Amino acid sequence: MKFIRKCPLFVILLSTGLLFTIIAAGGKQTIYAQQEYSPFKEPLLSVMFTALNDDIYPWQILSIESIPVSDFTTEPDIQEAAGDLELSAPEDESPQPEDVPPAQVPSLDESALADSDGGQQEDQQDSGNEISEADGADIPKGRLEPLRESTREEYLNHISADIYGDAGVIRAAMYEFSQVDESYFDDALFIGDSRTVGLRDYTNLSEHADFYCETSLTIYKVMEENFKGLGTIPDALAAKDYGKIYIMVGINELGRGTTENYMEKYTEVIDTLRELEPEAKIIIQAVMRVSGKKDSEDAIFNNSNINARNNAVATLADNEHIFYIDVNEVICDEDGNLNADYTFDQIHLLGSCDELWKEFLLAHGV
């Protein structure tokens, strides 16, 4: 007792710490199953805090019986069941394929390929090849199917697998875009993350178009997000008839899930937008790449991951209702990295460079 009176802060911190650890341990298999945790770096109780960001609260431990541990692609919905995951770095910063026992890689790849629908797969590969030969004679109109599945190694190392190839990108590029003037954007809606915030704040497009954008927006939150002072996107679509809907999200999701998970959600969002605003043209914008420096240093936020996911969403473009444009054409250097002169933080365009993006949009009217 005397001790408690002498150092109450110490005692309270110790006991709350103990309590939080018990809660975290209790929920480790259930509500906290999705939280990344490395015992050497962090205390167990930190999962309780990371989970708060995903709207998982300690008291839910009493109500939720159990959530099965995600078995990667077999149950892609699991992540949503557990709430939204923030982007989270892998324990090991650099993906190290050499760490994988060599015997396992090919066998897993093969099994992944064998698992997918054999007959259809050949068709898809053919269709992909035909397009890349660029005759354009026999372009499939519908949605393209993936050529393969992501492997478990790719998932664990946060590598976004390029499972679609460039068929979608090539098909989308066949559309003849036209030069337009600013009034074209009078009935446009822009949806995006902090990069779109830059477009809104540092060009005059916001005088024409409506911007529903927020830092750290992800495809998983697009439809639910309550944009400060504006409401949600379904609200916006109900209130006004938009002729064009531009969307660029995807960089914040890079550390999360597989290309399949991302693509599934992206497809759902695009289809919902189509349903809510059937007359509008939907313009999917490729995720802007990062600079060469960032690309070489970052295991997650790098251009090969960005390109893989761009290739995936590009397949949604049908050049009739849904289009795909890639601003990287005008902001990247010859190596395909975001031009280092256009950025300070290696990720965002400088305010003074958002004009390049605007000009690109003006040159790509649909």
Partner 1 sequence: MVSFSSLYFLFRFLPVFLVLYFITPSKHREITLLVGSIIFYAVGEPIFILVLVLATLLNHFLAIQSWKVGEGFSLHEWQTRRRKHYMIRAVVLDAALLCTFKLLSSFVDSALLPLGISFYVFKMISFQVDLYRREVWSRPRLRYTTLYFMMFPQVVSGPIMRYHEAEFDLTRSYSAEQFEDGLKYFVLGLGMKVLLADRLAILWNDLQMIGFQSISTPLAWLGAAGYSLQLYFDFWGYSLMASGLMVMLGYNFIENFHHPYASKSISDFYRRWHMTLGSWFRDYVYIPLGGSRCSGIRLVFNLAVVWILTGIWHGNGVNFIIWGAVLGIFIILEKLLYGKLLEKIPFLGHLYVLLIIPLTWVVFAITDLPRLGIYFGRLFPFLGGPGIAVNQNDIVRYAQNYGLYFAAGIVLCIPAVFGFYEKHKKNPFIILLLVVVFWVSVYFLSTSAGNPFMYLKF
- Contact footprint for partner 1 (CB under 8 A): 3, 6-10, 12-13, 16, 20, 36, 38, 40-43, 45-47, 49-50, 52-53, 86-89, 91, 193-195, 198, 201-203, 215-216, 251-252, 255, 301, 344-345, 347-348, 350-355
Nearer to partner 1, 163 or 217 (CB): 217
Cβ at position 76, least distance to partner 1 in Å: 23
8 A C-beta contact, residue 213 and residue 200: yes
Cβ at position 92, least distance to partner 1 in Å: 10
Rounded distance between C-alpha atoms, residue 106 and residue 96, angstroms: 15
Q: Is the dihedral of CA 274, 276, 277, 282 positive or negative?
A: negative
Cβ at position 2, least distance to partner 1 in Å: 8
187-221 b/e (C-beta count within 10 Å ≥ 16 → b): bbbbbbbebbbbbbebbebeeebbbbbbeebbbbb
Cβ at position 160, least distance to partner 1 in Å: 16
Nearer to partner 1, 47 or 283 (CB): 47
Cβ at position 61, least distance to partner 1 in Å: 17
Distances (CA, A) of 168 to 128, 148, 258, 311, 357: 8, 15, 18, 6, 22
Backbone angles phi, psi at 178, to 5 degrees: -120, 155
Backbone angles phi, psi at 210, to 5 degrees: -95, 140
Cβ at position 338, least distance to partner 1 in Å: 12
Name which of 129, 137, 40 is nearest 92 in CA terms: 40
Nearer to partner 1, 2 or 141 (CB): 2
8 A C-beta contact, residue 312 and residue 272: no
Residue given tokens 């009078």 in the structure block: 186
Backbone angles phi, psi at 66, to 5 degrees: -165, 150
Rounded distance between C-alpha atoms, residue 26 and residue 22, angstroms: 6
Nearer to partner 1, 61 or 87 (CB): 87
Cβ at position 16, least distance to partner 1 in Å: 7
